A and B are shown apart, each in its own frame.
Chain A
Amino acid sequence: MSKLELIRHLYGYNEWANSKLLDAASRVPAEQLLDARVASWGSLITDLAHIGGAQAVWLSRWQIGRNPTSVIGVQGMTTLDEVHALFDESHAGLREYVSIITEDAVESELDYSDSRGNQNRRPLWQLMTHVANHGTYHRGEIAGALTSLGSSPGDLDFVLWELGIR
C-alpha cells in the first residue's frame, strides 16, 4: 500500500465518523448544543464547526496555498444546519481532492501561509495526516459531551469502519 491509499482510508473513516457525530448531535436540543461546554472551543456547535472549519481551511491551503478565511472565522456558527452544510461541502471537497491527487503530490513539500500570514513548508502527507488526527481528537471531546447529554454517537472505532460494520 502507499501513503496515498492509506490516506484515502483515513478520509473515508473521517467522513463516516463525522456523520455519526452529527447524527448524535441532531438528537440533542438546540439550546444544549449551544450551552454545553467542551474543552477546546466552548459550545458543542463551535467544536463541531471547528472540525469542519479546519477541514475546509486545510483543503484551501493544499489547493491554493493559503486560506481566505481563518478557522475561527468559519466556526462562528449558531445552528446545526449551518454545521451540516459546512461538513457537506467540506466532505465533498476532500473526497474529490483525495481521488485526484497523485502519489508524487502526497510526497511533495507544500508551501502555504497560515491564518496569520506565516509561511510554512511541509510534506503534504504530514498535513493530511494532521487533519485526520485533528478530527479524531475533537470527536473524542464532543463524543464525551454528547454522551453526558444522553446522545452517544456509538462506537467510532477505525476497525469497525474498515470491516464495514456501520
Chain B
Amino acid sequence: MSWIEHLRAKIAYNEWANEKVFSAADSLSDEQLSAERTGTSSGSIARDLAHLVRVQGWWHSVAADTAFEPPDDPPPDGAMPALRERLAGSDADLRELAASLTEESLDRTIQRTRGNETWEWSQWQVVEHLLNHSAHHRAEIGQALFGLGVSPGDMDFIFFLRV
C-alpha cells in the first residue's frame, strides 16, 4: 500500500473533524459568532471558521493547479449558512483531489508567485500543510467553543478510524 492511502485517510478525517466543529458552532447566536475573542487567530469564531475554509480553498487551488477566488468575509448576520455553503464546496473539492492523487502528482513541483516572491512545493507538501493547518485552527476554534459551553468533542484521528 502506498502513502496515497495515508493522505486519502487524512482528507476524509479532515472532513469529519470540520463537520464536528461546524456542528458545534451551529448552536451559537450571530452575536456569539462575531464577538471579538482572544485566542482566536482572526478575532472571532466566525472569522476563524472563514479563515479555515478560505485557506483550505487556497491550498486546494495550489494542489489542484486551479484558480482561487477569495470569498468575502462572512456576513455578520447569518454567517453560518454562508460558511456552511463554502465548507461544503471546499470539502467536495478535497474529495475530488483525494481521488485524483497519484504517485506522480504527489511528487510534482508546484510554483506560486505572490508579490515579488516565488514559492515552490511538492504537491504532497501542499496537501499535508493544508490538513495540518485545518487541524491547528479547529483546535483554536474548539477552544473558543468550549469556553461557550459547546465543545465539538474529541477529534482524534484514531476515533475517526473507529467510526
* Chain A residues proximal to chain B, CB less than 8 Å: 1-3, 5-6, 9-10, 13, 38-39, 107, 122, 125-127, 129-130, 133-134, 136-141, 143-145, 147-148, 156-159, 162-163
Interface string of B120-133 (1 = CB under 8 A from A): 01001110110011
Q: Is the CB of B140 within 8 A of A159?
A: no
CA distance A158 to B157 in the complex (A): 18
Q: Is the interface of B mostly helix, strand, loop or mixed?
A: helix
In the complex, whether B95 has a CB less than 8 A from a CB of chain A is no
CA distance A79 to B156 in the complex (A): 27
Q: Is the CB of A141 within 8 A of B9?
A: no
Report the number of A-B residue pairs with Cβ-Cβ less than 8 Å. Answer: 107
User: 23 A-B pairs, CB-CB below 8 angstroms?
Assistant: A1-B3, A1-B106, A2-B3, A6-B124, A126-B9, A126-B157, A126-B161, A129-B157, A130-B158, A130-B161, A133-B13, A133-B135, A133-B156, A136-B135, A138-B139, A139-B139, A140-B137, A141-B139, A143-B140, A144-B139, A147-B38, A158-B128, A159-B125
CA distance A141 to B146 in the complex (A): 11
Q: Is the CB of A126 within 8 A of B135?
A: no
Given contacts A6-B3, A39-B146, A130-B156, contact A159 B121 (CB under 8 A): yes
Q: Is the CB of B6 within 8 A of A162?
A: no
With both chains docked as a complex, state the minimum distance between the C-beta of B39 and any C-beta of chain A, in angstroms. 4
* Chain B residues proximal to chain A, CB less than 8 Å: 1-3, 5-6, 9-10, 13, 38-41, 106-107, 119, 121, 124-126, 128-129, 132-133, 135-140, 142-144, 146-147, 151, 155-158, 161
